Structure 1
Amino acid sequence: MSEILSAPAPQVGNAESWTRREILQQPETLRATQALLRARQAAIEAFLSPLLARNDLRIVLTGAGSSAFIGDSLAPWLSMVMGRSIEAIATTDIVSAPALHLRAGAPTLLVSFGRSGNSPESAAAVDLTEALVDSPHHLIITCNAEGDLARRAGANTHVVVLPDATHDRAFAMTSSFTAMMFAALSIFSGIATMEARAEVIAKALADTLMDADQRMAALVEHGFERVVYLGSGALKGLAREASLKLLELTAGALVTAFDTPLGFRHGPKSIVTDRTLIVVFVSNDPLTRRYDCDMIEELRAEARCGAVLAVSAQPMEGDALHIPHLEDAADADLLIPFILPAQLFGLHASLKLGLMPDTPSPSGTVNRVVQGVRIHAIGA
């Protein structure tokens, strides 16, 4: 076990305690997740193989908040590499309008992501799928062995509980987000074939940590009032997660937004002021990368925003954070190391505002596990 994972728990009163620890442990939680999947590969594949052999199977990736953005990031990529349509639909959408999202006659594999597995919408989405779909199946990926999702059982259900270290104790999801995302990527890409890729991604994370930590701490000192994250393709979902992470960790004190580089010109660019930081997650796909670089070039030429930072696996001129070892990697492999600087920026911004990153909401209106949700019966 790594030094990070086996370190003693942070002491109460350390403002950075769990949040910082959980960001820094991600190289090791990634390796631990892949090791767990290899150990359980036979059981996972025995459950999935007959389902994936069905041409009529509908696959839906679901979760709430950050867990939903895992699906947003992975669905386009997995659809391409698996040659079948894979949808990302948040549990909050399924629960509030099940008739729009569930189809009785379509055999469905609902892939549920949940850090705690105790969100009311997570359980309700599973229950609704059971009730409204004629042939429902469930793959549950969670970080909490004691959560409601982890306790789901049945011949049509397979539960993957990730290493306990991924069950983030802090408010904001960090290592739980990357571990669940990687688990799904590995499962649907082929667990054995992900072995080498997992190590490269983990090394990219580890070798980025120090530089990214220092760079994000310095950026926060500029006192930006608005931060925009841009990403194309699979990286659009990641931009959404990055935006949420900063919003959560600063308790809404900073204005955050996300978009694609091409979409940003169509109105959302109005957000730009001289106190705006724009972060562009740059794709490795040659065509997509051209559009990303066009936006970076345009923003820098206009010189209207406070700063433009490119996060790229390939070396770039100008202000850029280079993520090493992944110059030729698929964009799906960039998802995990690219979120690291956004997590660190959120952490440092939270500290600069005098907040406690582990519990950044002074009012208590948002919580680690969502509260106050009433699940209404259909037709009631």
Structure 2
Amino acid sequence: MTLLHLDAADLDRRGAAHTAREIAQQPAVWQAVHDLVRARRAALDAFLRPLLALPELRIVLTGAGSSAFIGQCLAPALLQQLGARPGVRVEAIATTDIVSNPAQCLQPGVPTLLVSFARSGNSPESLAAVELADATLGACHHLAVTCAADGTLARRLGDRARAHVLLLPDETNDRSFAMTSSFTGMLLAAAWAFELPLPPVAVLSEAASALLAAEPARLAALSAQPVERLVVLGSNGLQGLAKEAALKMLELTDGRLVALADSPLGFRHGPKTVLNERTLVLLLLSNDSYTRRYDLDLLRELRRQGRGRVIALSTSALNGEEGLAEDDVLIALPVNAPDLALAPVALVFAQCLAMLASLKLGITPDNPSASGTVTRVVSGVIIHPLNPPAP
């Protein structure tokens, strides 16, 4: 399997073989994940439907780092799907917030479904969040979406009465440092588990394959430019996707290329000062006709001001009024596809860009942190007891 026409032996020599393979395999992985969720449909329905029928149900989507951004991508779409049900709430709260502030994140007496996203299932915060939810809420239900059969999270929740583990195919369990297949795999698995409206999986996979086939020259040209800052902008659930895209650049370049994420409206309120002549801006255009007006307002403004290079990612070719430019990336999805469908496909472009930036800097993408400052599974976290004994 090749990526962007790059030589496989060269990628292996430069420490990028796993990252490249795991980016390139995503169209096939999504089909495998879809097949798995479809095969588990009866068990998922038996677990989820009684919970979704509960009045005042609170759904908390949680994870750490990239896994937290999965929840941020899903929350707006899931809330819209369940919005007609009285009292139902959907919130994305990182495990890192739950662990350090359980009293401010968890509500006793409120029926809660904690949806945990975890590549390995061994993150200290992922495990502690589950235990804190049980200790604080009593009757908390758990849906774990994870990629590692031998992970602690899957083993702990596998036989609990109020829990369901959705274990994804082994190929989603990235061997590289950065989450790529695992992120999009868990995102789509949860979307299909909750039956959120998406185009057929073949349409998503074909869109990602078309992007990988069409964009090597553009990606190579972008990576050859003297870029020192990346800004990724997206509205609603695409803001969670923007955060993940920015994090991929930070991780794979070992922090040497600064990246940040925001919403198009929020970017004007201070963060816009980051722009300079060596800034690349990726603007993820919403398919929602109302939201898209605000996205396009900022796109036109940024291009008029001319600070940095701006690339729009869109499901439709921008007309002259919207601000068409040669740099814009066309995503081969229906123009009425929900924004959640854009997220995994657009992320493939950002993942490729981050890997190429890493290689340009002489960094090994499979293990980019030469100093060991960050690790594949976070280390150094001390989980303190909720009620420490009196001195």
Instruction: Give the TM-score range, shorter chain.
Output: over 0.9
Counterpart in 1 of 2:369? Answer: 361
- Rate the CA distance shift 1:12–1:337 in 2: closer, same or farther, 3 A: closer
Counterpart in 1 of 2:229? Answer: 226
Question: How many Å separate the matches in 2 of 1:82 and 1:204?
Answer: 28
Matched, 1:73 2:77: no
2:217 to 201, 214, 222: 214
Shift of residue 326 of structure 1?
Answer: 2.7
2:192 to 168, 186, 195: 186
Matched, 1:310 2:316: no
- Report the 3-state secondary structure (helix = DSSP H, G, I; strand = E; otherwise coil) of the residue aligned with 1:189: coil
Higher mean displacement: 14-23 or 62-71: 14-23
Question: How many Å separate the matches in 2 of 1:247 and 1:371?
Answer: 19
Shift of residue 207 of structure 1?
Answer: 1.0
Shift of residue 214 of structure 1?
Answer: 3.0
Aligned residue identity for 2:271: P
Matched, 1:173 2:179: yes
Aligned residue identity for 1:33: V
Q: 1:135-157: per-residue Cα shift (whole Å, max 9, x none)?
A: 21000000000001111221101
Counterpart in 2 of 1:149? Answer: 153
Higher mean displacement: 317-326 or 153-162: 317-326
Counterpart in 1 of 2:34? Answer: 34
2:200 to 197, 200, 212: 197
Q: 1:13-61: per-residue Cα shift (whole Å, max 9, x none)?
A: 4522000000000001100000001111111111111111101211000
Shift of residue 331 of structure 1?
Answer: 0.8
Please say if residues 60 and 87 of structure 1, whose CA atoms lie closer than 8 Å, have aligned partners that are also in contact. yes
Counterpart in 2 of 1:16? Answer: 16
Please say if residues 168 and 175 of structure 1, whose CA atoms lie closer than 8 Å, have aligned partners that are also in contact. yes
Please say if residues 147 and 172 of structure 2, whose CA atoms lie closer than 8 Å, have aligned partners that are also in contact. yes
Counterpart in 2 of 1:331? Answer: 339
Counterpart in 2 of 1:271? Answer: 274
Question: How many Å separate the matches in 2 of 1:36 and 1:360?
Answer: 32
Higher mean displacement: 285-294 or 18-27: 285-294
Question: How many Å separate the matches in 2 of 1:304 and 1:41?
Answer: 49
Question: How many Å separate the matches in 2 of 1:347 and 1:214?
Answer: 15
Question: How many Å separate the matches in 1 of 2:297 and 2:12?
Answer: 47
Question: How many Å separate the matches in 1 of 2:279 and 2:160?
Answer: 50
Task: Please list, as runs of the form range in 1=range in 2, the aligned pairs for 1:334-349 lying within 5 A after superposition.
Answer: 334-349=342-357
Question: How many Å separate the matches in 1 of 2:12 and 2:357?
Answer: 21
Please say if residues 212 and 344 of structure 1, whose CA atoms lie closer than 8 Å, have aligned partners that are also in contact. no
Question: How many Å separate the matches in 2 of 1:130 and 1:210?
Answer: 47
Counterpart in 1 of 2:109? Answer: 105
Please say if residues 239 and 259 of structure 1, whose CA atoms lie closer than 8 Å, have aligned partners that are also in contact. yes
- Structure 1 length as normaliser, TM-score? 0.94
- CA RMSD, Structure 1 to Structure 2 (Å): 1.7
Q: 1:279-301: per-residue Cα shift (whole Å, max 9, x none)?
A: 10001111111111111111111
Shift of residue 369 of structure 1?
Answer: 0.5
Unaligned stretches of 5+ residues in structure 2: 319-323
Q: 1:270-325: per-residue Cα shift (whole Å, max 9, x none)?
A: 001011111100011111111111111111111122x1000111112102000113
Question: How many Å separate the matches in 1 of 2:277 and 2:54?
Answer: 53
Identity of aligned residues (%): 52
Counterpart in 1 of 2:263? Answer: 260
Please say if residues 205 and 340 of structure 1, whose CA atoms lie closer than 8 Å, have aligned partners that are also in contact. yes
Question: How many Å separate the matches in 1 of 2:54 and 2:374?
Answer: 41
Please say if residues 106 and 134 of structure 1, whose CA atoms lie closer than 8 Å, have aligned partners that are also in contact. no
- Structure 2 length as normaliser, TM-score? 0.92
Counterpart in 1 of 2:321? Answer: none
Segments ≥4 residues shifted beyond 4 Å:
9-12
Please say if residues 213 and 341 of structure 1, whose CA atoms lie closer than 8 Å, have aligned partners that are also in contact. no
Higher mean displacement: 175-184 or 206-215: 206-215
Counterpart in 2 of 1:248? Answer: 251
Please say if residues 243 and 257 of structure 1, whose CA atoms lie closer than 8 Å, have aligned partners that are also in contact. yes
| Number of aligned positions between the proteins | 371
Aligned residue identity for 2:329: L
Matched, 1:296 2:299: yes
Aligned residue identity for 1:315: A
Q: 1:305-355: per-residue Cα shift (whole Å, max 9, x none)?
A: 2x1000111112102000113322011111110111110110000000000
Higher mean displacement: 105-114 or 82-91: 82-91
- Rate the CA distance shift 1:12–1:295 in 2: closer, same or farther, 3 A: closer
Shift of residue 3 of structure 1?
Answer: 11
Matched, 1:62 2:62: yes
2:290 to 273, 283, 287: 287
Question: How many Å separate the matches in 2 of 1:214 and 1:49?
Answer: 47
Aligned residue identity for 1:223: P
Aligned residue identity for 2:224: E
Counterpart in 2 of 1:163? Answer: 169
Please say if residues 62 and 94 of structure 2, whose CA atoms lie closer than 8 Å, have aligned partners that are also in contact. yes
